[in-house]
Amino acid sequence: MFKIRKLLALVTGKALIALSRALGGQGTNLPGRLASFIYPPLLSELSRNITGACFMVTGTNGKTTTCNLAAAIIREQGFSIVHNQAGANMLAGITTAFIQNSDLLGQRTHDYALLETDEANVAPLLQIIKPRYILITNFFRDQLDRYGELDITVKLISSAVKGTGIELILNADDPLQSNWPSLTGLKCLYYGFDHTAYDNLDSADSRECRYCMLCGHELEYSYYHYAQLGRFQCPHCGHHNQQLDYVGSELSLEDGIAFKIGDLHLESRLQGFYNAYNILAAATLALESGFGKDIIKRAIASHQPAAGRMENFIIGGKQVFLILVKNPTGFDQSLAMLTGDIHTKNIFMALNDNAADGRDISWIWDTQVELLARSEEKITGLICSGQRSGDMALRFKYAGLDTSKIVIEPYLRKAIERTLGLEGQVTYILCTYTALFACRKILLRLRDR
Ligand SMILES: [Zn+2]
């Protein structure tokens, strides 16, 4: 039966999406929120138009990149997809994605749905949609004031999935996911990396979990890939990494990323170990869902990074990278990549403390900013910007960096212009979430000037 409220919800949602676009905004939550208010069963009904499968992707870091890669594979195969692409990963943002891909009667069908889901939204979303797989990237400390401690996040998700019969695709190198078969009673598939040339035993990365999920004893590691990801075992109860169903091997991080999963050779233009995990996760999801190896290989090879995920601009003939930083592990990974770059570089960091960034900025003290000091001669300047520019400058100072290179300039535009004016060969623009789109706009304007 034709429902007038549903039509009204869809018209309103679509109009708001168009309006927000026209205003150049990223307003991806409001349309979904308002449409659901007008017609509460909207998301549930639209999700029934998916003829193939729904995939849910959650975890702390890498959700957006993993989803973008998986979406590229699905599209490469010629399937249609609903995907909350802009990283609006709360219920409202997911609803907006469905509205955008729907017709006005709410009847258009799609082959797949790929839902990037904020950790706190997994439970409510599971009340509405039952995905074929839930993929988890990793659990790192993120926005403490919003989620509380990590074990609460782990508990939130594991109890939400318990008894659903949904299959899980998990990271075997993350000790926080190692006991999920018994914790959830669900079928769990594991992906992870073999020993790589980049592993270490003594890196002082911010590690989240050094304790056994079963007995609480401190874990022993044979090696770390980075952060708490690696090969571990508990000397007390013997608990260790789950056996790998999909193994990434022969990893190379020189000039992009290359590794193998069995006889599937993957190459990507993305950079850094954290992106290797995102590729491995997306490929695992695709292989498990029956996508062809050639399709996967091609989609990953041609994929370009999205906004703020190492987005690349040429301004004044020089390379500028825009990088979103939101927690200690992500920040450390960016710093590791940056120190691995042999060029001289201008560094900009905007630290905001709005709700979406996390009000508590104490996480900057858990990062390995000291890494920068190792190649300090390659750094022309450290421009600190955003609402908490002073705190960022203080952090750089305590890392032992030359204070004559540290500049505080709270205004983003002035600070970016000042950074680009330095003589480094490459510029890195790092920023927290609420500074990302403003910084991007400034960079685009400077590029087009
Ligand atoms: Zn144990």
Ligand 1 centroid to 238 CA: how many Å? Answer: 6
Give distance in angstroms: CA of 138 to centre of ligand 1: 20
Nearest to 196 by CA among 234, 229, 245, 239: 229
CA of 215 to the centre of ligand 1 (A): 4
Q: Tell me the CA–centroid distance for residue 203 and ligand 1, in Å.
A: 23
The answer to whether the beta carbons of residues 291 and 306 sit under 8 Å apart is no
Question: 428 CA to middle of ligand 1, Å?
Answer: 42
For the chain, where do the domains classified as CATH 3.90.190.20 start and end? Answer: 309-448
Residue of 263, 360, 391, 402 marked active site: 360
Distance 170 CA to ligand 1 centre (A): 20
Q: How far is the CA of 362 from the centre of ligand 1 (A)?
A: 30
> Of 246, 120, 224, whose CA–CA distance to 171 is shortest?
246
Cα 142 to Cα 60, 63, 153, 278, distances in angstroms = 7, 13, 10, 18
Q: Which residues neighbour 88 within 8 Å (Cβ) at sequence distance 6 or greater?
A: 26, 28, 29, 32, 94, 96, 97
What is the spatial distance between Cα 272 and Cα 401, in angstroms, rounded to a whole number?
A: 24
Query: Is 205 one of the annotated active-site residues of the chain?
Result: no
The amino acid that residue 263 corresponds to is D
Topology adopted by domain 49-97+110-302:
UDP-N-acetylmuramoyl-L-alanine:D-glutamate ligase (3.40.1190)
Copy the structure tokens of residue 111.
């082959």
Tell me, what's the pLDDT at 374?
Answer: 80
The token pair that represents 304 in the structure block: 């370009």
Q: How far is CA 132 from CA 56, 78, 161, 359, in A?
A: 8, 20, 12, 35
pLDDT at res. 305: 73
CA of residue 214 to ligand 1 center, whole Å: 5
Query: DSSP secondary structure string, 243-284?
Result: PPSEEEEEEE-TTSEEEEETTEEEEES--SHHHHHHHHHHHH
Ligand 1 center to residue 405 CA distance, Å?
Answer: 47
Q: Where in the chain is the domain with CATH 3.40.1190.10?
A: 49-97+110-302
Q: Distance between alpha carbon 430 and the CA centroid of its chain, in Å?
A: 15
Q: DSSP letters along 221-239, please?
A: EEEEEETTEEEEE-TTT--
pLDDT for res 386 = 96
pLDDT at 358 (0 to 100): 82
The pLDDT tens digits along the chain (449 residues) read: 558 999 999 999 999 999 988 876 666 889 999 999 999 999 999 999 999 999 999 998 899 899 999 999 999 999 999 999 766 889 999 999 999 999 999 999 999 999 999 999 999 999 999 999 999 999 987 655 555 578 888 999 999 999 999 999 999 999 999 999 999 999 999 999 999 998 888 655 555 567 888 898 999 999 999 888 999 999 999 999 999 999 999 999 887 899 999 999 999 988 889 999 999 999 999 999 999 999 999 999 999 776 666 788 889 888 899 999 888 888 888 888 888 777 899 999 999 998 888 888 988 988 888 888 888 889 999 999 999 999 999 999 999 999 999 999 999 999 999 999 999 999 999 999 889 989 999 999 999 88
Order the strands of the 257-261 sheet from edge to edge. Answer: 81-83, 110-116, 50-58, 133-136, 167-171, 188-193, 246-252, 257-261, 264-268
* The pLDDT value given to residue 157: 96
Angle, to 10 degrees, between the axis of helix 273-288 and the axis of helix 293-302? Answer: 150
The pair of three-digit structure tokens given for residue 408, joined into one six-digit string? 């505080």
Instruction: Give the pLDDT confidence score for residue 142 in this predicted structure.
Output: 63
State pTM to two decimals: 0.79
What is the token pair recorded at 202? 């003594």
Output the CA 240–ligand 1 centroid distance in Å: 8
- Cα separations (Å) of 264 from 66, 363, 437? 18, 38, 36
> Which residues, including other chains, have CB under 8 Å from residue 444's CB and lie 6 or more apart?
313
CA of 219 to the centre of ligand 1 (A): 7
**What homologous superfamily is domain 309-448 in, according to CATH?**
Mur ligase, C-terminal domain (3.90.190.20)
Q: How far apart are CA 1 and CA 406, in angstroms?
A: 65
